[in-house]
Chain A
Amino acid sequence: MITGAFDYHRPANLSEAIGLLSRLDSDARVIAGGHSLIPMMKLRLAMPSHLVDLAAIAELKGVRAEGDEIVIGAMTTQHEILGSELLAARAPILKEVATQIADPQVRYLGTIGGNVANGDPGNDMPGVMMALDASYVLRGPDGERRVAARDYYEGAYTTAASPGEILTAIRIEAPPAGHGWAYEKLKRKVGDYATAAAAVILTVSGGKIATCAIGLTNVADTALFAKDAAQVVIGTVADKVSLAKASAAAEAITSPAADGRGSAQYRTKMAGVMTARALSRAFARAKS
């Protein structure tokens, strides 16, 4: 229930934050919404000696359009995602995902940056970002760079971010108007991490699926970009046979942990079922 002791820092801007991280020992952690980190600290699974609070850094907030791109500040909360008219119009899948993350209180403070940055395989947004082909903006002592979500996750809690780098924003090329989208999440109860989940972004042309991207959640030590599963439905009408093939292709890349949610075999099968259901709903939503 009680964390270890730490020094608390609340930098006013990004360069101050980056400076702090370089200066302090490697046992410093940034804190965004805190709803991944603080629970771990309370169980003493994480005991950082410094916390660098990003809450006061204005440039990390806000959702805006930049031409065809949507830029989401890392400190945007799930609650703000739910309330964003821009996102509802241009990337509606994000609202469907955010609704299924945790509970109302956690959504008020939990940030999208916090959800994507640390490589927790249970988080919902990474798989979605893969489906959206989003990229993450990382800023560190050596400057700024971008890493595609599809390239960012290396293992459980291991990412392409270097020590001292802060994920400042997510950039998404908005899917075309009329695209199909769905996030299908199987869970034991509201607020739980996924037993298995699938995010689908697709477009339809002439009544058939023209493009498709699928991201899978919590069925491996990272979110998975299900390339083959998506490929298999191109040119189809998301009919039963194609969906079955897509499910099989999704199952083939999973390696879930057995835990309270079920056996590895069950979770693999559920990845397949979620993939099929997400494809089906996304197809129904799409306009040709």
Chain B
Amino acid sequence: MNAPASPSSLERAEKLQGMGCKRKRVEDVRFTQGRGNYVDDIKLPGMLHGDFHRSSHAHARILKIDTSKAKAVPGVLAVLTAEDLKGVNLAWMPTLAGDVQMVLADGKVLFQNQEIAFVVATDRYAAADGADMVEVEYEDLPVVVDPFKAMDADAPVLREDIKDKKDGAHGPRKHPNHIFNWQVGDKDLTDAAFFKAEVATKDLLVYQRVHPCPLETCQCLVSFDKIKGEITIYGTFQAPHVIRTVVALISGLPEHKIHVISPDIGGGFGNKVGAYPGYICSAVASIVTGLPVKWVEDRIENLSTTSFARDYHMTTEIAATRDGRVTGLRVHIMADHGAFDACADPSKWPAGFSNIVTGSYDFPVAHLSVDGVYTNKAPGGVAYRCSFRVTEVAYAIERAMDIMAQKLGMDPVEFRMKNFIKREQFPYQSALGWEYDSGDYHTAMQKALDATGYAELREEQKAKQEAFRRGETRQLMGVGVAFFTEIVGAGPSKNCDILGIAMFDSAEIRIHPTGRVLGRMGSKSQGQGHETTWAQIIATEIGIPADDIAIEEGNTDTAPYGLGTYGSRSTPVAGAAIAMAARKIKAKAQMIAAFMLEVHEGDLEWDVDRFRVKGNPEQFKTMSQLAWAAYNKVPPGMEPGLEAVSYYDPPNMTYPFGAYICVMDIDVDTGVHKVRRFYALDDCGTRINPMIIEGQVHGGLTEGYGIAMGQEIFYDADGNVKGASFMDYFLPTAVETPHWETDYTVTPSPHHPIGAKGVGESPNVGSVPCFANAVNDAFKFLGSTHIAMPHDAYRVWQVAENLGLHA
């Protein structure tokens, strides 16, 4: 029972720097002094370097690999090929999606830049020279880069290794290049709704292939100790425990002799969840040479081979009444997975949580069908700041709602408001199987409209459209709206697992005798600030200042088992575990306090940092005093010490949501755009550190801006990969990046111990359709209904050209 607030308690609460305050980050102390500890900063005695020779062909048989010249390069100690890996049964490795993937090319190559040989040398310069000297003879095979052609009767068979397998990890396959079909929803009821629909729209909405592109590429340093029979793996791993278990399963080394350490990571964004050939080859090389082996990929390797994101082709249909009520949603997705299905999804979800495609809207019926196919492209895909496929389907539903609004002649906001799930409908059962925990969409939308002066913007737009028609301006104004609901916090054990391990997360909290705290969690920050925010949760829960709480993540020997950080799951799952562990400690401390104060537990009330006797506030014990007492003055029968572990299995996912509005001006003669204004309102439930939330939103909006307005990894008809270097991959600088306005509402999650939902990925989910809707909105009055991303100047100009605006 909590005591009422008082001036002294408010002062003490502020000193705690607990939940809700803009606590300055602990991590910054070392990062601003160049004392971060990233993988490539780590040196071990005798360390070797590995580098790949990669395929220049997209689809070819390998006739010959000649490593003799490479081996002759001074400094080169070994060159591994698939033949070498076969000896230790590691030429292929399992993926997180139930497929298998070549570690090194085995008889053929399936995508350009695929790994063929791993050169190990005394330094990275010699390794690079060696990689250049490997010679490969290829026999070209026909290439498949269009996912819609992958299942043609005459399509070349890509995966000869499984060509006779009629069943994949997710059910029957209808073609050698087919991976899975996944369906959810009521097909008959949905088809019926469309059959009798007054108005219907159908559009192919494509979310192009992109890449998470963290500033630090994927890398590892592996050291096998022959004498102890132990392996230590430093790596850029968002989920270090998962990596440890994967290594145990594929190498046969016992899990307690595998030490995985994620040190500081320079951004993850989903790129660093799964295992890559570089990790496996480094491990084998270390075992073979008996020396530590480091592998650091360069940027082109990163953008073209360590997975990819999106490449979802979504045929999206909405059925509605003439007066604007949606009556059905029907979606088919063609999912291009590249050469191997290395998707980093929970195992029962081959298309991630794409069944959140109903979004923020009350669809009475819906049906979703997803077909995954193989093509000659890099394998994957990963969840680029998107919680599993949520970005893709949020784009689809938000574009489709805009298209339907246009067809109905309704304002896109009016159409959305008419179809929002209402506050009183929560918890809401969606037509595709999710129970949304909480939401208040109308309030958030109205707040956004008021903050941006939406009605005035539409008036201004109308005036500018008329001016354009009169030839007085060559600028078009677009107002983009997106109202997203996303699903994060994977996830409940009843439906979420990675390789069979449930997706709980964990916290271990120990209070030392002098009242300082050590917390270790199963999550792994790559910039999200857990060292700062996890301490804030603990500080508020147990009344010890955050500055007296050290947080550790990433060392699998010491951290309790966790499924890592991605999919905005850390606050919903690890954050909950932290609160639960802290409450166990608090409960024990209450018993000690009662014992020391000679009262019953029920006679005590909690006051910020102490238990005090109800009605007798001078009788109190601070948590600090109780910590000391825990080591020498516990009640009879109680163990000494003050620590707790919690493994938290969330009862549900969480559903952050937001209202984003973008005002954009487009120069039709060049296709160049300018973002005049971007307003982002996010509801992530309880807000732990508003400063960090704002930073996460800024970062996610900037990533979304890059995706919508120019990012693309694509392949030409011969399978040559394009856009895979910073010469072309659109990463906005400080000059292009718009100014972001952030705002919020708070609708706590009813099932989460502190009501928090997670926020890291919301801005990427919501911003991409918001920018896309702004561009589309600018051209609507000229008859355009859908313009595909990315909206780079050339493509926007082409739209204007096709509309005859340059005559």
**Chain A residues in contact with chain B, CB under 8 A?**
1-2, 4-5, 44, 103, 186, 188-191, 195, 260-263, 266, 269-270, 273
Query: In the complex, which residue of chain B has the Cβ closest to the Cβ of A44?
Result: B132
- Distance in angstroms between the alpha carbons of A170 and B31 in the assembled complex: 45
- Distance in angstroms between the alpha carbons of A190 and B736 in the assembled complex: 8
List, in ascending order, chain B residues with CB within 8 A of A1's CB. Answer: 128, 298
A189 and B736 contact, Cβ closer than 8 Å, known pairs A2-B124, A270-B670: yes
A40 to chain B, nearest CB (A): 12
List, in ascending order, chain A residues with CB within 8 A of B722's CB. Answer: 260
The answer on a CB contact under 8 Å between B128 and A195 is no
The answer on a CB contact under 8 Å between A188 and B792 is yes
The answer on a CB contact under 8 Å between A195 and B669 is no
Which 3 A-B residue pairs are closest in the complex by CB-CB distance? A262-B794, A2-B128, A260-B728
Query: In the complex, which residue of chain B has the Cβ closest to the Cβ of A272?
Result: B669
List, in ascending order, chain A residues with CB within 8 A of B550's CB. Answer: none
- Distance in angstroms between the alpha carbons of A266 and B672 in the assembled complex: 13
The answer on a CB contact under 8 Å between A263 and B735 is no
The answer on a CB contact under 8 Å between A186 and B124 is no
A189 and B794 contact, Cβ closer than 8 Å, known pairs A2-B124, A2-B125: no
A273 and B669 contact, Cβ closer than 8 Å, known pairs A2-B124, A2-B128, A189-B736: yes
The answer on a CB contact under 8 Å between A188 and B124 is no
List, in ascending order, chain B residues with CB within 8 A of A4's CB. Answer: 129
- Distance in angstroms between the alpha carbons of A191 and B727 in the assembled complex: 10
Query: In the complex, which residue of chain B has the Cβ closest to the Cβ of A189?
Result: B736
B800 to chain A, nearest CB (A): 11
- Distance in angstroms between the alpha carbons of A44 and B298 in the assembled complex: 14
The answer on a CB contact under 8 Å between B735 and A190 is yes
B725 to chain A, nearest CB (A): 9
List, in ascending order, chain A residues with CB within 8 A of B730's CB. Answer: 188-189
Chain B contact residue count (CB 8 A cutoff):
26
Across the interface, A266 reaches (CB within 8 A) one of B732, B733, B736, B798, namely: B798
The answer on a CB contact under 8 Å between B797 and A266 is yes
The answer on a CB contact under 8 Å between A189 and B728 is no
What are 10 contact pairs spanning A and B, CB under 8 A?
Answer: A44-B132, A188-B730, A189-B730, A189-B735, A195-B793, A195-B794, A260-B722, A260-B723, A266-B671, A273-B669
B489 close to A (CB within 8 Å) = no
The answer on a CB contact under 8 Å between B798 and A188 is no
The answer on a CB contact under 8 Å between B710 and A188 is yes
A37 to chain B, nearest CB (A): 16
Query: In the complex, which residue of chain B has the Cβ closest to the Cβ of A260?
Result: B728
Listed residue (A2, A262, A270, A273) with the most chain B CB atoms within 10 angstroms of its CB = A2
The answer on a CB contact under 8 Å between B732 and A263 is no
- Distance in angstroms between the alpha carbons of A261 and B732 in the assembled complex: 15
The answer on a CB contact under 8 Å between B798 and A190 is no
List, in ascending order, chain B residues with CB within 8 A of A261's CB. Answer: 794
List, in ascending order, chain B residues with CB within 8 A of A266's CB. Answer: 671, 794, 797-798
- Distance in angstroms between the alpha carbons of A1 and B806 in the assembled complex: 44
- Other than the known A188-B710, A266-B671, what 18 A-B pairs have Cβ atoms closer than 8 Å? A2-B124, A2-B129, A4-B129, A5-B129, A103-B733, A188-B730, A188-B793, A189-B730, A189-B736, A190-B736, A195-B794, A260-B722, A261-B794, A262-B793, A262-B797, A266-B797, A270-B670, A273-B670
B58 to chain A, nearest CB (A): 19
List, in ascending order, chain A residues with CB within 8 A of B670's CB. Answer: 186, 270, 273
List, in ascending order, chain B residues with CB within 8 A of A269's CB. Answer: 797, 806
List, in ascending order, chain A residues with CB within 8 A of B798's CB. Answer: 263, 266
Query: In the complex, which residue of chain A has the Cβ closest to the Cβ of B732?
Result: A189
- Distance in angstroms between the alpha carbons of A267 and B287 in the assembled complex: 54
- Distance in angstroms between the alpha carbons of A5 and B730 in the assembled complex: 32
B300 to chain A, nearest CB (A): 8
- Distance in angstroms between the alpha carbons of A87 and B227 in the assembled complex: 69
- Distance in angstroms between the alpha carbons of A97 and B485 in the assembled complex: 46
- Distance in angstroms between the alpha carbons of A256 and B128 in the assembled complex: 35
B717-737 residues with Cβ-Cβ distance < 8 A to A are 722-723, 727-728, 730, 732-733, 735-736
The answer on a CB contact under 8 Å between A190 and B733 is yes
- Distance in angstroms between the alpha carbons of A191 and B728 in the assembled complex: 11
- Distance in angstroms between the alpha carbons of A188 and B673 in the assembled complex: 11
Listed residue (A44, A103, A189, A195) with the most chain B CB atoms within 10 angstroms of its CB = A189
List, in ascending order, chain A residues with CB within 8 A of B125's CB. Answer: 2
List, in ascending order, chain B residues with CB within 8 A of A5's CB. Answer: 129
Q: CB-CB contacts of B112-123 with A at 8 A, as 1s and 0s?
A: 000000000000
- Distance in angstroms between the alpha carbons of A180 and B132 in the assembled complex: 52
B608-641 residues with Cβ-Cβ distance < 8 A to A are none
Q: CB-CB contacts of B781-800 with A at 8 A, as 1s and 0s?
A: 00000000000111001100
A162 to chain B, nearest CB (A): 31
Across the interface, A263 reaches (CB within 8 A) one of B132, B669, B672, B794, namely: B794
- Distance in angstroms between the alpha carbons of A195 and B672 in the assembled complex: 12
A186 and B736 contact, Cβ closer than 8 Å, known pairs A260-B722, A270-B670, A273-B669: no
- Distance in angstroms between the alpha carbons of A273 and B129 in the assembled complex: 46
List, in ascending order, chain A residues with CB within 8 A of B671's CB. Answer: 266
List, in ascending order, chain A residues with CB within 8 A of B792's CB. Answer: 188, 262
B620 to chain A, nearest CB (A): 58
B175 to chain A, nearest CB (A): 33
- Distance in angstroms between the alpha carbons of A1 and B302 in the assembled complex: 13
Query: In the complex, which residue of chain A has the Cβ closest to the Cβ of B726?
Result: A191
Q: CB-CB contacts of B720-758 with A at 8 A, as 1s and 0s?
A: 001100011010110110000000000000000000000
Query: In the complex, which residue of chain B has the Cβ closest to the Cβ of A191?
Result: B733
- Distance in angstroms between the alpha carbons of A260 and B128 in the assembled complex: 28
List, in ascending order, chain B residues with CB within 8 A of A44's CB. Answer: 132
Query: In the complex, which residue of chain A has the Cβ closest to the Cβ of B731?
Result: A189
B598 to chain A, nearest CB (A): 69
B494 to chain A, nearest CB (A): 46
- Distance in angstroms between the alpha carbons of A181 and B125 in the assembled complex: 48
B238 to chain A, nearest CB (A): 24
List, in ascending order, chain A residues with CB within 8 A of B727's CB. Answer: 260
List, in ascending order, chain B residues with CB within 8 A of A189's CB. Answer: 710, 730, 732-733, 735-736
List, in ascending order, chain A residues with CB within 8 A of B794's CB. Answer: 195, 261-263, 266
- Distance in angstroms between the alpha carbons of A139 and B671 in the assembled complex: 45
A25 to chain B, nearest CB (A): 20
Query: In the complex, which residue of chain A has the Cβ closest to the Cβ of B722?
Result: A260
List, in ascending order, chain B residues with CB within 8 A of A262's CB. Answer: 792-794, 797
List, in ascending order, chain A residues with CB within 8 A of B735's CB. Answer: 189-190
- Distance in angstroms between the alpha carbons of A210 and B783 in the assembled complex: 45
- Distance in angstroms between the alpha carbons of A188 and B672 in the assembled complex: 9
List, in ascending order, chain A residues with CB within 8 A of B669's CB. Answer: 273
B131 to chain A, nearest CB (A): 10
A199 to chain B, nearest CB (A): 18
Query: In the complex, which residue of chain A has the Cβ closest to the Cβ of B667?
Result: A273
Query: In the complex, which residue of chain B has the Cβ closest to the Cβ of A267?
Result: B794
- Distance in angstroms between the alpha carbons of A262 and B794 in the assembled complex: 5
- Distance in angstroms between the alpha carbons of A262 and B800 in the assembled complex: 14
- Distance in angstroms between the alpha carbons of A4 and B131 in the assembled complex: 12
- Distance in angstroms between the alpha carbons of A188 and B731 in the assembled complex: 10
Q: CB-CB contacts of B94-131 with A at 8 A, as 1s and 0s?
A: 00000000000000000000000000000011001100
Query: In the complex, which residue of chain A has the Cβ closest to the Cβ of B296?
Result: A1
B691-724 residues with Cβ-Cβ distance < 8 A to A are 710, 722-723
B647-685 residues with Cβ-Cβ distance < 8 A to A are 669-672
- Distance in angstroms between the alpha carbons of A273 and B669 in the assembled complex: 7
List, in ascending order, chain B residues with CB within 8 A of A260's CB. Answer: 722-723, 727-728
- Distance in angstroms between the alpha carbons of A60 and B452 in the assembled complex: 56
Query: In the complex, which residue of chain B has the Cβ closest to the Cβ of A186?
Result: B670
- Distance in angstroms between the alpha carbons of A190 and B669 in the assembled complex: 20
- Distance in angstroms between the alpha carbons of A263 and B730 in the assembled complex: 17
- Distance in angstroms between the alpha carbons of A61 and B766 in the assembled complex: 52
A265 to chain B, nearest CB (A): 8
The answer on a CB contact under 8 Å between A186 and B723 is no
A271 to chain B, nearest CB (A): 11
- Distance in angstroms between the alpha carbons of A260 and B792 in the assembled complex: 10
List, in ascending order, chain A residues with CB within 8 A of B797's CB. Answer: 262, 266, 269
- Distance in angstroms between the alpha carbons of A195 and B792 in the assembled complex: 12
- Distance in angstroms between the alpha carbons of A205 and B211 in the assembled complex: 55
